[in-house]
Every structure is written in C-alpha cells, then in structure tokens.
Amino acid sequence: MSKKIILSGARPTGDIHLGNYFGALENWVRLQDSYDCHFFIADWHALTTGYADTAGLPEYTISLMADFMACGLDPERSVLFLQSQVMEHAELFLLFSMLTPLPWLERCPTYKDQLSQLKDKDITTYGFLGYPCLQAADILAYKADFVPVGEDQLPHLELTREIARRFNFLYGPVFPEPQPLLTKSRVLPGTDGRKMSKSYNNTISFADPPDVVRKKVMSMVTDPARIRKNDPGHPEVCSVYAFHKIFSPDEVDDIGDQCRAGTIGCVACKKKLQEKLLAFHEPIHAKRARLLQDKSGLQALIAAGSAKARTQAAATLAETRRAMNLGT
C-alpha cells in the first residue's frame, strides 16, 4: 500500500526557534516515519508581505534548510525543496486564480487580520490577497492527503478544499480534498511568558550559541510573587517551569513541589534548566553550524529536492492542463 502524502511549508523569514520546533517541526520529523513527506521553503509566500525587501532571502533560505535538517528532517526520506525552484506551483496558482471567487479570498480571516495589523507595510496587493490560492497550489500540486499546520492555518486549508471541489466540479475529478493534521504539539512560552515570537523578542533559536542560551535562561520571567528565595512560588505561572515540563520530565514534579514549598530558589532552578536545555539544544545548534559551513552543499540538496518535487508536480500539472483542455 502506498503511503499517504503529507505536505507542509515554512516561510524563510528568520531562524527557527524553540516555539517553531515544538509547535511544528517536532511533529514533521516524526511524520517522516509513516508518510510520504514533502516539506518546503515558501519563498514566494515570504514575498506576499516582504516583496519590498528581498535582500535577506538567500541567507534565510539556506539557514532554514540548515534548521530543517539540524532538527531532523532528512532529505533521504522526505522531499525538501524550495518553492521558487518548482515553477509548477506558479502555473497551478494561475489556473486556480481563474476559478477562485474574490469573496472567498476577501473574507479569509488571516487576510483581514494582517491588513489591519501590518501597518508598516503596504500589503494591499494582488499577491497578498491571493496568498491562500498560492497555498492551495502548493498543497494540490502533490495531491497531499494531509497538511500538518497550526490552527491559524485552518482557514487556508478550508479554502484549499473549496478550490479543489470547484475545480473537480468544473473539469472533472483531479484533486483530493486535503485534511489538516492537527497533531497535538507542545506549547512553550517565550522567555517573557508570552507566546514565543520573533516580534516579541523573546525567542531562543537554534542559531543562538550556548552562552547566549544560558543568558536568555537567566533572564527568563519567573513567578513575580517570589521576591525572597524562601517565598512560596506558583510554578504554573512561571515560564521556567513550563520549560522544565519539556526538558526535565523526570524532575518537573519535584521542582514544582520545591518551588511551592520555597525550598528551591529561582537561580538554582534556572541553572538546572540551563543544563537540561543545552543538552537538547547544543547538538542541534552544532549540526546547524556544521551544515552552514558548506553552503554549496546545502544549495545542492535544495536543488536535488526541488528536482524531485518538480517531477511530481509536473505530473499533476499535465493532468490539470488536460482536464482544462489546455496546451493541445
């Protein structure tokens, strides 16, 4: 029996941090065991909001590939590729744009949110409105069965299914209706207790060297009610404790008890976390750095993965053109 097809992507807009890892990548790595996986760097999607400044794209693209691989995505087992090296996505995007009603795009919640939030950029563009249509092309070019994404992406998946349905209705059955794969992910707050996000400046990324990770741990926000070392604490409001849940599973219950009893101080608690966190972080950081020493090697892997993706997407496009009576 052939494996079910998975596809997901990430925009090359910065270094992968622990929030990204536990929110998505950890799952992607695991999915490689049982699915036919495709993971890609969505550089065209980065243009939808970042078209005016593309200077960082080459570096972000290469470092995202390094992040992918350092975290455990394996180019031998998964197709790892770059969107802009697979022109078929653009062709399918164009064809879908012909049959996607404008109101479907205009009522997309991510569209409305971003328009009101990204005030410093002019995103009243055709490309930004078409974002979900491009995403549908990414997914349907491989006839993906499942798309592992966060909840924020569910409206885009809904639109992907609507576009597939409309296409199949108009031209005959070509596309499946891909389902989201909402595997439970582990939530890790940022160093300040809010959601970990680049825009909050509260991330720990795999690009951070060990001494920076140590400093960031020491600066983490703890229970504000603890002023003296012996004050009883409330671990559930503390981001250090949230980290211990992931990095010190054997000790986390003890740590919670000691915190509540006021028998462990925050400095000692953070020192413990430094060691646990670095035992996880350091090998990934080191692998990432090693990979980035050979940029042309990474580029060659991206090119090889993209060639593989192209072969698959080309087969879908041939079928799509045939269904639409194009090119003959």
Choose, by CB under 6 A, the member of 264, 284, 291, 309 that binds ligand SF4.
Answer: 264
Task: Round to whole Å and give the CA distance between 262 and 146.
Answer: 47
- Which partner in ligand SF4, ligand TRP, none is near 149 (CB below 5 to 8 A by kind)? ligand TRP
Task: Round to whole Å and give the CA distance between 103 and 98.
Answer: 13
Min separation Cβ 234 and ligand SF4, Å: 7
Quick one: CA torsion of 295, 298, 299, 303, rounded to 10 degrees? Answer: 170
Task: Round to whole Å and give the CA distance between 141 and 221.
Answer: 45
Does 16 contact ligand TRP by CB under 6 A? no
Q: How far is CA 8 from the centre of its chain?
A: 8
Choose, by CB under 6 A, the member of 153, 191, 248, 306 that binds ligand TRP.
Answer: 153
Give the residue with the Cβ less far from ligand SF4, 161 or 216.
216
Write out the H or E segment, with its range, that includes residue 247.
helix 239-247
Does 316 contact ligand TRP by CB under 6 A? no
Stretch that binds ligand SF4, among 95-103, 137-145, 210-218, 263-271 (CB under 6 A): 263-271
In the bound state, the residue with its beta carbon closest to ligand TRP is 9
Sheet order of strands, 36-41 included: 79-82, 36-41, 5-10, 146-148, 179-181
Stretch that binds ligand SF4, among 66-74, 188-196, 264-272, 292-300 (CB under 6 A): 264-272
CB 206 within 8 A of CB 284: yes
List contacts with ligand TRP (CB under 6 A). Answer: 7-11, 42, 45, 135, 138-139, 147, 149, 153
Residues near ligand SF4 (CB under 6 A): 222-223, 226, 233, 235, 238, 240-241, 259, 264, 266, 269-270
